[in-house]
Structure 1
Amino acid sequence: MRRPNSFQEPQLPLMDPAPAVPAMMAPVAGRVPSYIKDHRKRLRDRFMSGGAAAMPDYEMLELVLFRAIPRADVKPLARALMDRFGDFNRVLSADPERLKEVAGIGDSVITDLKIVEAAAHRMARSRVIDRPVMSGWDAVIDYCHTSMAHRETEQFRVFYLDRKNILIADEEQARGTVDHVPVYPREVVKRALELNASALILVHNHPSGDPSPSEADIAMTAQIETAAQVLGLTLHDHIIVGKSRELSLRAEGFI
């Protein structure tokens, strides 16, 4: 009697294991766990009763993250963002590509962060646009700080004013690197003529955090002032925005 041929099951190719999903982003089956719901309610109640002053930066981030990540504990992600970027404002203003480097950050989170950033800028801008600038100088400084203090690269902007010193345009003229931004005085004054402006304020930021003017800053300001005077324009000031304070070149005697 012949023995049956031995049979061996074919070997299937091994597959790579599925990439691990960060615990903070893992989906939760069924309802949201009660401890997460309770934590979120406590934060929301504290915010509504005490405002932002009652919340440390990482908890403010948690409140923003609740909408984009509705079914998970977002505290570890808020802490990770704080560790990476330093504070709430720098998280909001961070470049989307850098945000994506943090585990657990996806498009929905980035969108919500950028919406909050845009809302803050728009509210600050509403306090200065179409209003007399020289009588509302504190609002101008607040707007400059909100929109520029936490940027990671230099930005050069010009506020154009009419004869009554009402702000008629706020325009970005150039973006640069972490320590340099190209500025063309001829383009600055040319744009003033196009807008029928009578005066201007220069603004740029120092990502290093120190608003002290460089020799290049002082020289560029002098060039724009000279070009403006030739055309009958007034250069009111050049504001340099640092992380925690701003510096006026006029107050420092450079204009």
Structure 2
Amino acid sequence: MGTGSDDDERGFFSEVPIRPPAKAKSSKEKPSEEKPHYLGHRDRLRERFASAGPDALPDYELLELLLFRLIPRADTKPVAKALLARFGTLAEVLGAPVGLLQEVKGIGPAVALDLKVVAATAQRMARGEVRGREILSSWTQLLDYCRSAMAFEEREQFRILFLDKKNALIADEVQQVGTVDHTPVYPREVIKRALDLSATAIILVHNHPTQPRSITLDHATTH
């Protein structure tokens, strides 16, 4: 169970209803405060999403919709724009480590953790979309998937995508995790794992922690 500060920060993924202003007992009393301006904006944005679909909204507005639930008592537009300005794309926002997310004003520990839960769900979905398909024909989608998974990792990873004879994904595995600028690679272990999975091709992926957003992919066959 979260602390009081956590509850106020995210409201346990649910928006807390704002009580309507109490009616003044007499005309001489000070009128109640008006509802926050962002509440009407939230309603309009939801209506646009429902009527026009997600493709009609830019990345910052989709991120706003997500932040509505995580930050129920604040204007989330500047937070969404600050996240995208810092990390680049929606996928890279979700792929950023908790520590870096918290460096953005408006993002506390609870919200940062909630974003990582969303990221894990999105990565599972992306992996499902890639698995079993001919991924070499959708290189951009593959690159987006890899960036969301590892672009902002603080240590260098050596990742392997194992493909079958139709260039469809069999498995996606992180073989080694190294330092900020180095990770060991053992060709014998790579080949052994490829043979175990009956893979006919592999894609080798590694990130560059000293150059955030930078990902290198290399394609090779096993025969």
What is the TM-score with the length of structure 2 in the denominator?
0.67
The structure that has the greater radius of gyration is 1
Q: 1:104 — aligned with what?
A: 106
Q: 2:118 — aligned with what?
A: 116
Q: Which amino acid aligns with 1:148?
A: R
3-state SS of the aligned residue for 2:205? strand
3-state SS of the aligned residue for 2:46? helix
**Is 1:94 the equivalent of 2:96?**
yes
Q: Which runs of 5+ in 2 are unaligned?
A: 21-34
Q: Which amino acid aligns with 2:19?
A: R
RMSD of aligned C-alpha atoms? 3.6
Q: 2:71 — aligned with what?
A: 69
> What's the CA shift for 1:102?
2.4
Aligned residue pairs total 194
Distance in 2 between the 1:199 and 1:189 partners? Answer: 10
Distance in 1 between the 2:36 and 2:214 partners? Answer: 46
3-state SS of the aligned residue for 1:65? helix
Q: Work out which structure has the larger RCO, using CA pairs closer than 8 Å and 6 or more positions apart in sequence.
A: 2
3-state SS of the aligned residue for 2:113? helix
3-state SS of the aligned residue for 1:31? coil
8 Å CA contact retained: 2:70, 2:114: yes
Q: Which runs of 5+ in 1 are unaligned?
A: 1-20, 235-255
> What's the CA shift for 1:191?
1.6
Evaluate the alpha carbon distance shift between residue 174 and residue 182 of structure 1 in structure 2; reply closer, same or farther with a 3 A threshold. same
> What's the CA shift for 1:142?
0.9
- 1:175-186 correspondence runs (5 A): 175-176=177-178, 180-186=182-188
**Is 1:151 the equivalent of 2:139?**
no
What is the TM-score with the length of structure 1 in the denominator?
0.60
**Is 1:60 the equivalent of 2:68?**
no
Percent identity over the alignment is 51
> What's the CA shift for 1:96?
0.4
8 Å CA contact retained: 1:148, 1:155: no
> What's the CA shift for 1:126?
1.5
